[in-house]
Chain A
């Protein structure tokens, strides 16, 4: 079965720095890779989607890269702010977008 690893359970960075989160996967060839934000006790909120034939996607201060050879995605938050503190989830989907397989998440803390 597919295995998704977000190799940092927690990441602490100073405000203004760039946060880089990693998602590695095995035993799967996703058609889509997505990143979500989850605050404590809340449902995930969609941030970015990148397709298997795309290398990079940007949205405001967010950037996602997708390397299907390395089976890895990197998620960057530039000019990080304390409000960015949350758990960030990587999720894979096949052709049936919606059936998502999640990593355990990385808890990001941005301190002033």
Chain B
């Protein structure tokens, strides 16, 4: 079945540095991917919609200059957390929509734990 892969699964970075998280659709093409963040025991919060070949659409309150999204190909979207701070530490999850016989299905990646120290 369709699989969405995220890398890295865990990353620790120093405050002030940037970190990139990759989201790949392994066996289907995804013109649209979505990025979420989740704090412990909290809901997933939609951050942005990543569109292949065009600019991402950010949800209200999400800083586009802080969270850079690039969707360079039909199978890869990247999220770069720039000038990371400890409050950016969170679980970041991507998803992709796969068209299929039963209609569109959303597949989520396994998530990436970011710890900023």
**Which of A89, A98, A101 is close to B95, meaning CB atoms less than 8 Å apart?**
A98
**Looking at the complex, which of A37-45, A62-70, A75-83 is the stretch in contact with chain B?**
A37-45
Contacts of B110 in A (CB 8 A): 42-43
Chain B positions 8-64 with a Cβ under 8 Å from a chain A Cβ: 32, 34, 36, 41-46, 49, 60
Contact B43 A103 (CB under 8 A): yes
- Is B84 in the interface zone, CB < 8 Å from A? no
Contacts of A103 in B (CB 8 A): 43
Interface magnitude class on chain A: 20 to 34
Question: For the complex, would chain A's binding face be called helix, strand, loop or mixed by DSSP majority?
Answer: loop
Closest residue to A45 on the B side, CB-wise? B108
Question: For the complex, would chain B's binding face be called helix, strand, loop or mixed by DSSP majority?
Answer: strand
Contact A44 B43 (CB under 8 A): no
- Is A102 in the interface zone, CB < 8 Å from B? yes
Chain A positions 93-110 with a Cβ under 8 Å from a chain B Cβ: 96-105
Q: How many residues of B contact A (CB 8 A)?
A: 28
Contacts of B42 in A (CB 8 A): 104
Q: Which of A98, A99, A102, A104 has the most CB of B within 10 A?
A: A98
**Which of A43, A46, A49, A97 is close to B93, meaning CB atoms less than 8 Å apart?**
A43
B8 to chain A, nearest CB (A): 14
Quick one: CB contact mask for A1-42 with B, threshold 8 Å, 1 for yes? 100100000000000000000000000000000101000011
- Is B71 in the interface zone, CB < 8 Å from A? no
Contact B43 A105 (CB under 8 A): yes
Contact B104 A100 (CB under 8 A): no
A34 to B107 Cα, complex, angstroms: 12
A49 to B97 Cα, complex, angstroms: 13
Contact A89 B106 (CB under 8 A): no
Q: Can you list 6 A-B contacts with CB-CB less than 8 angstroms, sorted by A residue number?
A: A43-B108, A45-B108, A46-B106, A96-B49, A100-B46, A102-B46
